[in-house]
Chains A and B, each alone.
Chain A
Amino acid sequence: MSPEMIRLIAASTGETLYMVAVAALIATAFGLPLGIFLATSGKGELFAAPWVNRVLGVVVNATRSTPFIILVVAIIPFTRLIAGTSIGTSAAIVPLTIAATPFIARLIEGAIREVDQGLVEAARAFGASPLQIVLKVLVPEALPGIVLGLTLAIVSLLGFSAMVGAVGGGGLGDLGIRYGYQRFMPEMMLAVVVVLIVLVQAVQTIGDRLARHLNKRIRHA
């Protein structure tokens, strides 16, 4: 493997990490409150707003059902508005974030809904406000589930990031397509796949460890 190839792989890995990290961060910033709201705004719940809940649910589902490659192209005008350009690594963060936000919101909604309703009742009984219940009961109790959800979201983002080559986003996936496939360099394809496997393994392992550390429901030796 030539030094030139190694340089290319290193640069693409950097691009992938940059896109995924920034997109995951922003998507969590939006997805966490959205997920909490989805989990607590149903009929008779803490922030009951059944209609808003239903409308948000539809929007979330619609975004999630749009294939990522179509989403990337469809929102080009919006991407230009936000990033100033529709091409390049930074521009690719916009569709990645938009795809990840509803996904993260659903995962967090699921984690919050897993929390025993008895805890909410107990918190109401000692005088906690709905916001205190969210911050002091629901989120801490759901934290292991939230961490596992975010891990899954980051792994999915690594997969999505392979498609942003379509808008000049760069990254490992783009490298694999352009060199490994179009220039027929199987060793490059292999190298890209190996780097992705290592990345996914690393993310999953860290996520699992963290979730296990946070989960006090099971006894630790």
Chain B
Amino acid sequence: MSATALLEIESLSKSFGGVVAVSDCTMTIREGSVVGLIGPNGAGKSSVIDLVSGFEQPSSGSVRFAGVDVVGKRPDQISRMGMIRTFQTPREWRDLSVLDNVRVGRSDLERESLWRSLTSARRLRRQDALDTEELRELMAHYHLDELRNDRAVGLSGGQKRLLEFARIASAKPRLTILDEPMGGVNPVLGERIGEAIRELKKAGSTVVVVEHNLPFVEKTCDEVIVMDLGSVIAQGRFDELRDNKRVVDAYLGNDDE
């Protein structure tokens, strides 16, 4: 495993009014790893993701992504540095076709200039057509090729999850943050999602997974970070944490009880 840190979070805090969501949270995500972020509801996992991805601004503390301070940047600026996150529910672009969802996912921002869209429409269309082959392969990989010309809103919940992965794969991010990718997902599809995460890693992306499904986390993640009450209480391999008293008390639960 490479030792360089891709994401460094230091004494991050955030309070909403009187509620402290994140307090003095410090963690490091190494490049190339798949990290599970677990903890009871309200532990501050999603808040940390919002702070890292720019949707919320921290009260104090710092976030460095690939060595650059991202506090104060907008979500789209952080995204262009190579970070893609998901939300707890799939967020497809509902009235775009599945194919267009993946096309926008590629984030080829230069093509989207208003001026170029007016002046060189034909060339842009040709470029789109050239990409289609590659994108169809990608969609076929996620069982979406048959549905490529359908409106994304008509997909089932599971297909929307897969579309999310296809979109991420086409964007080729350096860091992927998945917020509960297994929510509302059946076991068969769960297998497929675990595979998709491993494929992301193979493609060179570092992955952070927020998840409550612990067997899934154990199977998928190289390393686990446990949060409680807004800060990190443990970090390490899953089997090491099984014996950690604080983790057991906070989250895993005790069989004797």
Chain B binds chain A: no
User: Chain A: residues with CB nearer than 8 A to chain B?
Assistant: none
User: Chain B: residues with CB nearer than 8 A to chain A?
Assistant: none
